[in-house]
Amino acid sequence: MPATVHDATALPSLLAEPALRNLPLMVLGAGSNVLFATDRFEGCLIQLQCASARIVSDDGEHALVRVDAGFDWDALVDWTLDHGLQGLENLALIPGQAGAAPIQNIGAYGVEVGKFIAAVHVCDSHTAAVDRLTAARCGFGYRDSVFKREPDRRIVTAIELRLPRSGATNLAYAGLSEELAAMGGLTPTPRNVAAAVRRIRRRKLPDPAVAGNAGSFFKNPVLARARAVELQSRFKGMPVFPASNDAEHKLSAAWLIEQAGWRGFSDGDAAVSAQHALVLVNLGRATGPQLLTLARRVAASVQEKFGVALEPEPRIVGATF
């Protein structure tokens, strides 16, 4: 049963409806990070369509922006740039709604959204109580947050972002400077960085409008530093990146999958993208269970070859990984 919410203030009374009280609830954004492993969901799918954004306060250096959950994320990146605000440019072209951004703390090209989130407005699906969680209460980590750990408990109705009006853009990802150079030596303004990010993404990632996909299917594994260094000495060319703390390092899931020979593999219409080994694609009529079977095979072979466990990034509904 679908329930579309156009006004978040109506959510508490919707949750109190007797017809909903005993049903499992699932919050669905644009569906870009969900794999349905079942063709029946016996519950209520809640979708937020409220989609306005406004500047709440502005001291000339930073502005606080409040965005409804249903606002399209990539349109929001442009909205902030149009209002002279920066910070989100590295996150351009990530599909989905603004309300989903804090769920897995979306990140790309050296930036995570958690850095800019001042607060997340939620409605508790169990009690219908509304709350404003400051960033410290959101438990942001690599593709992680309190929201992801307890799916559907807190329905995100709006986010608040604190964005700067000036400052250097983040070019930590080496390919960005190269892209700006290839675009005619553009200066790294926020708008140019967003354009460069969009060009890289369009080139590297399969377009979900052409071949259904959820972006990266696996998280990059985070290992104890000593273990990562030991693996790197055993497997020539293995990329290792710093993690958020000194005790750990991150491996490239794409590299592991490619080395295990999966890039471009297909089983019927379920395939590992030939463009990017980290993306599983639906070439036409693959079912959720078929994609899940492929994902499990990929993870098992990476485990066997490297002794490293891969964890899926998208939410899998109706099955466990």
Site for ligand FAD in 122-151 (CB under 6 A): 147, 151
User: Counting contacts by CB under 6 A, is residue 162 touching ligand FAD?
Assistant: no
Q: How far is CA 166 from CA 107, 113, 229, 253, in A?
A: 21, 17, 38, 34
Identify which of residues 249 and 315 has a Cβ nearer to ligand FAD in the complex: 315
Cα distance between the two ends of the chain = 25
Query: Which residues neighbour 56 within 8 Å (Cβ) at sequence distance 6 or greater?
Result: 63, 64, 65, 66, 160
Q: Are 303 and 232 in contact (CB under 8 A)?
A: no
Residue 87's beta-bridge partner residues? none
User: Counting contacts by CB under 6 A, is residue 250 touching ligand FAD?
Assistant: no
The helix or strand, by DSSP H or E, that contains position 149, with its residue range, turns out to be: helix 146-149
User: Counting contacts by CB under 6 A, is residue 108 touching ligand FAD?
Assistant: yes
Could you tell me the smallest distance in angstroms from the CB atom of residue 99 to ligand FAD? Answer: 3
Identify which of residues 29 and 288 has a Cβ nearer to ligand FAD in the complex: 29
Of 123, 73, 67, residue with least CA distance to 95:
73
Could you tell me the smallest distance in angstroms from the CB atom of residue 89 to ligand FAD? Answer: 13
When binding is defined by CB under 6 A, the residue of 107, 114, 221, 288 that contacts ligand FAD is 107
User: Counting contacts by CB under 6 A, is residue 175 touching ligand FAD?
Assistant: no
> In a 3-state reduction of DSSP, which class is residue 159?
strand
When binding is defined by CB under 6 A, the residue of 87, 96, 221, 288 that contacts ligand FAD is 96
Identify which of residues 54 and 202 has a Cβ nearer to ligand FAD in the complex: 202
Site for ligand FAD in 187-216 (CB under 6 A): 205, 208, 213-215
Of 282, 277, 281, 237, residue with least CA distance to 260:
277
Could you tell me the smallest distance in angstroms from the CB atom of residue 215 to ligand FAD? Answer: 3
Identify which of residues 215 and 288 has a Cβ nearer to ligand FAD in the complex: 215
When binding is defined by CB under 6 A, the residue of 11, 25, 63, 106 that contacts ligand FAD is 106
Distance, CA of 106 to CA of 163 (rounded, Å): 16
From 95-103, 179-187, 219-227, 291-299, span contacting ligand FAD (CB under 6 A): 95-103
Phi first, then psi: give them for residue 306, nearest 5 degrees. Answer: -115, -10
User: Counting contacts by CB under 6 A, is residue 30 touching ligand FAD?
Assistant: yes
Q: Which residues are designated catalytic? A: 143, 216, 313
When binding is defined by CB under 6 A, the residue of 87, 95, 114, 190 that contacts ligand FAD is 95
Number of residues that bind ligand FAD (CB under 6 A): 34
Distance, CA of 121 to CA of 243 (rounded, Å): 29
When binding is defined by CB under 6 A, the residue of 37, 81, 85, 103 that contacts ligand FAD is 103
Q: How far is CA 150 from CA 27, 41, 68, 240, in A?
A: 12, 18, 21, 30
Identify which of residues 150 and 304 has a Cβ nearer to ligand FAD in the complex: 150
Identify which of residues 26 and 283 has a Cβ nearer to ligand FAD in the complex: 26
From 17-25, 27-35, 127-135, 184-192, span contacting ligand FAD (CB under 6 A): 27-35
Distance, CA of 255 to CA of 263 (rounded, Å): 10
Q: How far is CA 28 from CA 69, 97, 99, 114, 151, in A?
A: 11, 10, 10, 20, 11
Q: Are 137 and 174 in contact (CB under 8 A)?
A: no
User: Counting contacts by CB under 6 A, is residue 312 touching ligand FAD?
Assistant: no
Rule CB under 6 A: which residues touch ligand FAD?
26-34, 48, 69, 94-97, 99-101, 103-104, 106-108, 147, 151-152, 155-156, 205, 208, 213-215, 315
